[in-house]
């Protein structure tokens, strides 16, 4: 808008100068020349105002989807001249869907005196996001002209972890993962002999603390019961190409959120949990964190769900109880399910059309496909396809 106005004034000034020549009016000519000079000077000031700037960005390396994130930008001038107010806008990745963005008020950087500004975002998509540039918009002192320029602010990486999305989980589905569906967990623990001790984990009962080991190691240790120590679980999420449906909140995002909640429930009951992709680290203080970290980078570029299930069945220690998440029909999955033990597979199914109406024909929630899965030995539960709350 400002550039259009300044161009209009320039053309008007040139027209006025031409008229001054025709009417032989020196005063009018000088006035027109002064107007042109003022506008050109304003344009130069606006262009110089957005140059010779240095930016440093500070952002958390990790956050959780849906939580506010504060990003700081430090800007300083590398030239000794007074700048008008500048408007700074960070060039966030387009893939980082944002519920809201709060940018800072305009600032006027000083020479070698960093000015700190902050803004907040609420990311709505998990993943590893990278960005570098900052957009700077400046004007002249009179506000006649504006200029915009991109500046590097250093490569920034931020990993957005999926937030566990609670759903109605029948605890009897955890049978085989450290839970006895014929008794309560309390009675089950009392009726079993401890086969060893391990470090205290979230969900363990205080009465199971093994005090001699705790005193010897200076860490809380609990008795490890056989049903828990030998239990295993495998969580497989559909991630074949073309199976991630939807835009802002996709089927893969929803499955990762539900899988995070399931893993959270399994952790106190399992000695080993296998995910679609391996976890990169171990966190004694937060055992769920490595799984959230792996889920954050899960993309629809992997093998079919049937292929992953067949691979899990080759594990020498066995896959334990298997939990599947899928929204699109996998034609090879029923035959792969027949290779599993009876009642060892729980499939969480989504209606594909809730994410992409055109995918109705291939939805895993189709009654005929559900029947094929059941006949192959899988227990079925249809989950909600809603977005972030």
Closest CA to 246 of 351, 174, 142, 115: 351
User: What is the average pLDDT across 97-116?
Assistant: 82
Confidence band of 363 (pLDDT split at 50, 70, 90): very high
Rounded CA separation 374/345 (Å): 10
Q: What is the pLDDT of residues 287-309, one digit of tens each?
A: 999 999 999 999 999 999 999 99
- φ, ψ dihedrals at 100, nearest 5°: -155, 155
Across the range 241-256, mean pLDDT stands at: 91
Report the distance separating Cα 238 and Cα 251, nearest Å: 9
What is the rounded distance in angstroms from the CA atom of residue 348 to the CA atom of residue 255?
9
Supply the pLDDT for residue 146.
83
Q: What confidence score (pLDDT) does residue 133 get? A: 95
DSSP assignments along 212-268, one per residue? HHHHHHTS-EEEEEHHHHT-EEEEEE--STT----SSS-HHHHHHHHHHHHHHHHTT
Query: DSSP per residue over 271-309, as a string?
Result: SEEE-SS--S---SS-TTHHHHHHHHT--S-S--HHHHH
Instruction: Please give the C-alpha separations between residue 37 and each of 1, 10, 27, 146, 347, in angstroms, as whole numbers.
Output: 20, 9, 15, 16, 74
Q: Pick the range with the lowest mean pLDDT from 1-5, 185-189, 225-229, 297-301.
A: 185-189
Q: What is the pLDDT of residue 169?
A: 84
Which tokens in the block code for residue 243? 């199976």
Instruction: With a cut of 60, say whether residue 196 has pLDDT above it.
Output: no
d(CA 270, CA 363): 32
Whether the pLDDT of residue 184 is over 60: the answer is no
User: Does residue 287 contact residue 143 with C-beta atoms inside 8 Å?
Assistant: no
Question: 229 pLDDT band (50/70/90 cuts)?
Answer: very low
3-state SS, 338-389, equals CCCCCCCEEEEECCHHHCCHHHHHHECCCHHHHHHHHHCCEEEEECCCCCCC
Determine the average pLDDT of the residues in 115-127. 91
Question: Are 53-161 and 171-178+231-382 in the same CATH fold?
Answer: no
The confidence score (pLDDT) of residue 171 equals 60
Calpha distance 240→235 (Å, rounded): 15
Q: How far is CA 251 from CA 95, 163, 187, 243, 246, in A?
A: 15, 14, 38, 8, 6
pLDDT at 192: 38
Q: Stretch 96-125: mean pLDDT, rounded? A: 84
CA distance 301 to 223: 41
The yes or no reply on domain 171-178+231-382 and CATH 3.40.50 is yes
| CA terminus-to-terminus distance, the chain | 39
Higher pLDDT, 267 or 101: 267
Give the list of residues 6+ apart from residue 322 with CB closer than 8 angstroms, or none.
233, 234, 236, 309, 312, 340, 344, 345, 346
CA–CA dist 126, 161 (Å, integer): 5
Tens of pLDDT, residue by residue over 58-82, are: 999 999 998 999 999 999 999 888 8
Q: Is the dihedral of CA 310, 312, 318, 323 positive or negative?
A: negative
How much is the pLDDT for 156?
96
pLDDT digits (tens, 9 = 90+) for 204-222: 778 778 887 788 778 888 7
Q: Is residue 389 pLDDT above 90, yes or no? A: no
State the CB neighbour count (10 A cutoff) for residue 329.
Answer: 23
pLDDT of 201 strictly over 80: no
Q: Where are the domains of the chain?
A: 2-49, 53-161, 171-178+231-382
Close Cβ partners of 34 (under 8 Å, ≥ 6 residues apart):
none
Tokens of 102: 């709060």
Region 121-132: what's the mean pLDDT? 93
Which residues are within 8 A (CB) of 327 and not within 5 positions of it... i.e. 6 or more apart?
Answer: 238, 243, 245, 251, 255, 349, 350, 351, 352, 355, 359, 363, 364, 365, 385
Instruction: Give pLDDT, residue 318.
Output: 87
53-161 CATH choice from 2.60.40.10, 3.50.50.60, 3.40.980.10, 3.20.20.70: 2.60.40.10
Q: What percent of the chain has pLDDT over 70?
A: 85
Query: Average pLDDT, whole number, for the chain?
Result: 84
């Amino acid at each position: 808008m400002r550039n259009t106005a300044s161009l209009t004034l320039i053309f008007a000034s040139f027209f006025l100068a031409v008229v001054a020549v025709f009417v032989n009016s020196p005063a009018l000519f000088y006035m027109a020349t002064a107007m042109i000079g003022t506008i050109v000077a304003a344009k130069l000031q606006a262009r110089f105002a957005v140059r010779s700037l240095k930016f440093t960005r500070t952002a958390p390396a990790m956050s959780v989807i849906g939580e506010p994130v504060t990003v700081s930008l430090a800007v300083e001038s590398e030239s000794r001249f007074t700048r008008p107010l500048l408007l700074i806008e960070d060039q966030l990745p387009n893939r980082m869907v944002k519920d809201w963005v709060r940018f800072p008020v305009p600032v006027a950087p000083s020479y070698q005196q960093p000015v700190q500004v902050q803004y907040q975002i609420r990311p709505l998509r998990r993943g590893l996001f990278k960005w570098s540039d900052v957009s700077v918009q400046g004007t002249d002192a009179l506000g006649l002209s504006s200029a915009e320029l991109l500046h590097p602010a250093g490569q920034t990486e931020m990993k957005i972890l999926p937030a566990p999305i609670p759903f109605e989980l029948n605890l009897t589905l955890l049978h085989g993962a450290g839970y006895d569906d014929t008794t309560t967990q309390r009675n089950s623990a009392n009726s079993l002999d401890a086969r060893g001790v391990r470090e205290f984990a979230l969900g363990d009962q205080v009465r199971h603390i093994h005090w001699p080991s705790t005193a010897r190691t200076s860490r809380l240790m609990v008795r490890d019961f056989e049903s828990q120590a030998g239990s295993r679980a495998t969580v497989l999420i559909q991630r074949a190409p073309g199976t991630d449906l939807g835009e802002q909140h996709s089927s893969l995002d929803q499955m990762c959120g539900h899988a995070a909640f399931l893993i959270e429930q399994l952790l106190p009951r399992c000695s080993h949990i296998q995910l679609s992709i391996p976890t990169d680290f171990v966190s004694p203080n937060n055992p769920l964190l490595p799984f959230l970290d792996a889920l954050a980078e899960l993309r629809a570029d992997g093998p079919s769900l049937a292929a992953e299930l067949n691979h899990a069945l080759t594990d020498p220690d066995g896959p334990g109880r298997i939990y599947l998440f899928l929204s699109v029909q996998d034609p090879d999955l029923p035959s792969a399910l027949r290779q599993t033990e009876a009642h060892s597979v729980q499939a969480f199914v989504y209606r594909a059309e809730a994410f992409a109406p055109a995918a109705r024909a291939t939805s895993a929630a189709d009654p005929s496909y559900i029947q094929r899965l059941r006949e192959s030995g899988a227990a079925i539960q249809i989950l909600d396809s809603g977005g972030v709350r």
